[in-house]
Amino acid sequence: PDVNVNRTLASAQALREWLLTSDESIKSINLYSFDVHTRRSWLIFKQVLAPEFKVGAIAANSLDYEPKQWWVSSQGVRSIMSETIAYIYAQVVSWKV
């Protein structure tokens, strides 16, 4: 389906459905995501997939700014600020459906 809102949640739900119906004996996954988005993605995937599956996370470094000096670029500041707000929101919402 075409998903424009809550793509991370839709992805986690689709993966859960596949994991539960496949013949694979997968018990854990590693989530690979864009640097500052990884923590929020991990939180959502962890809530959606638990307790049947364990979720790890691997963050890809940003190519748009230097992650260790994110405050010196406009893109870094925008990424960190928007993801911080989104992460706080994700903390208070129950993603388990």
d(CA 97, CA 83) in angstroms, rounded, equals: 23
pTM (2 d.p.): 0.84
Token pair listed for 63: 């190519």
Residue 76 and residue 66 in contact, taking contact as beta carbons nearer than 8 Å: yes
Closest alpha carbon to 62 in 80, 45, 47, 40: 80
> Over 90: is that where the pLDDT of 23 sits?
no
Residue type, 19: L
Domain-wise residue ranges, the chain: 7-92
> Over 80: is that where the pLDDT of 96 sits?
no
Residue 65 and residue 71 in contact, taking contact as beta carbons nearer than 8 Å: no
Per-residue pLDDT tens digits for 32-89: 998 899 999 999 999 999 999 999 999 999 888 988 899 999 999 999 999 999 999 9
Confidence of residue 93 (pLDDT cuts 50, 70, 90): confident
